[in-house]
Amino acid sequence: MGWRTGPQQDCFFSALNFFNETEDTSFLNPASIQKVLDSEYASVSDVPSFDDLMVLLNSNAQPVHVCVYIADNFVFAKNGVNPGQPWVLMKIPDVLVTYSDPKTPARILCLRHKDSGQA
C-alpha cells in the first residue's frame, strides 16, 4: 500500500483494498466507503468464507470496524490509523472485545462481494 496514504489507512481502507494491486484512495472517504458497501456487497447469513467482510456495527447500526475473513474464525484487521497499530490476524472474539462497549456490544454483519459468485 502507498506510503503517501499510510497515515490515513484505517480498517475500512485496508479491508476494501485487500485484493487490489493498486490502492483505491477513494476508500479514505467515508461517503465512498458507504456507497461501495451498499452497492457492491450483500449481507449473508451462512458461514463466512475467505474474503467476506466482517463489519462490526454499534448500537445505532453504524459501522465502527471492518475486517476481512480469512479462515477458521481468523480475520485480517487494521486497528486504527496509528502506525503503531499494524495489520494483524485476529480471532473474531478478540475483535469483538476490542471494539465493543460493555453496555452495548457490537454485532457483526457478514458482507460478501456480489461478484464473488457465492452471494
Q: What is the pLDDT of residues 57-69, one digit of tens each?
A: 988 888 889 999 9
Q: Is residue 1 part of a domain?
A: no
CB atoms within 10 A of CB 97: 13
pTM: 0.86
pLDDT in tens, 72-109: 999 999 987 777 778 899 999 999 888 877 777 778 99
Whether the predicted pLDDT of 4 surpasses 70:
no
d(CA 57, CA 112): 16
The predicted pLDDT at position 3 comes to 45
d(CA 67, CA 83): 17
Q: Is residue 17 part of a domain?
A: yes
Give me the CATH number covering residue 48: 3.90.1720
The predicted pLDDT at position 99 comes to 82
All three cell numbers of 14, joined, read 485496508
d(CA 82, CA 110): 26
CA 91 and chain centroid, separation? 14
The tally of domains found in the chain comes to 1
**Residue-range definition of the domain harbouring residue 109:** 6-116
Q: Is residue 112 part of a domain?
A: yes
Identity of the residue numbered 103: K
Q: Is residue 25 part of a domain?
A: yes
Q: Is residue 29 part of a domain?
A: yes
Using only C-alpha atoms, the chain has a radius of gyration, in whole angstroms, of: 14
Q: Is residue 18 part of a domain?
A: yes
Q: Is residue 42 part of a domain?
A: yes
Whether the predicted pLDDT of 1 surpasses 50:
no
